[in-house]
Structure 1
Amino acid sequence: MEIKLIKATAGDVLLLHDVQTRAFQPLLEKYLDYETNPANEPINRLFEKIQYSSFFKIVVDQKCVGGIRIVRKDASYWISPIFVLPDYQGKGIAQQAIEQVEQSFTNYNTWELHTILEEKGNCYLYEKLGYERTDFEQIVNDKMTLIGYKKTKQ
């Protein structure tokens, strides 16, 4: 399955808001993290992210099935967030998207992200791509802990 990353524009905000909400809704229902879950993100905040950062639609067969945002912070690139619709998860789409952005963004060698400790599939994906766990750990609630991952490319 070949994916394309297409730079998001202001005109994509309604589509991306819908896809992001549908992608993160199962995690919101599971972990009840109402303050941090992107399914609860106001559309105006997503609009700002599209305008002021590198936000891409993840497209498969001409359909937007997810998104990935890259932010420069200090001397690192941050993936925040990456999401794929539930029906398309487990098909290597997120892996391809990450590999593509890592090849496209080359000013820095360090990549970082946060993910949910309890989501073993996410942790496995990042570790498979060469990310290593950092010391960052934030307990969100009694169901969920955020952890950090970092990758330094040579």
Structure 2
Amino acid sequence: MSLHITTTWLGNMKFESTNPSGHNLFIDAGPENGGNSEGYRPKALMLSALAGCSGLDVASLIKKMKLEVADFKIEIDANLTEEDPKYYDKVGMHFHFSGSDLNEKKLQRAVDLSVEKYCGVMEMFRQFADLKVETHFHNKST
């Protein structure tokens, strides 16, 4: 499967990038790098792609397994190397599930399937970063 993306310079440090979904996004640098902060930073966008890829896997599995989850979020902490070209050498992913009747075993299975089998973005990250994944359950009484 081949994808085509076109990223067009809009002047200064701002770009618009097409996406096969039809929803375009803007990329821009911060003021410290001559931009106006009118778009995503490229490296941070990679982390959003990682969370989104795995999140879609887990959301799909939550639906298939008919699991009750009130809230689900993914937090990522990443370390950039000091020298150019800077890249992420350490990435921590934290899956947070909240609800009154969480099936922790099945939710952990959903996370494991994404991490070990389904998420292609995660596999890409493994090529250059030490990736640690943790799952957190927040059981709320009704």
The two structures have a TM-score, normalised by structure 1, of: 0.29
Larger Rg: 2
Higher helix share: 1
When normalised by structure 2's length, the TM-score is 0.31
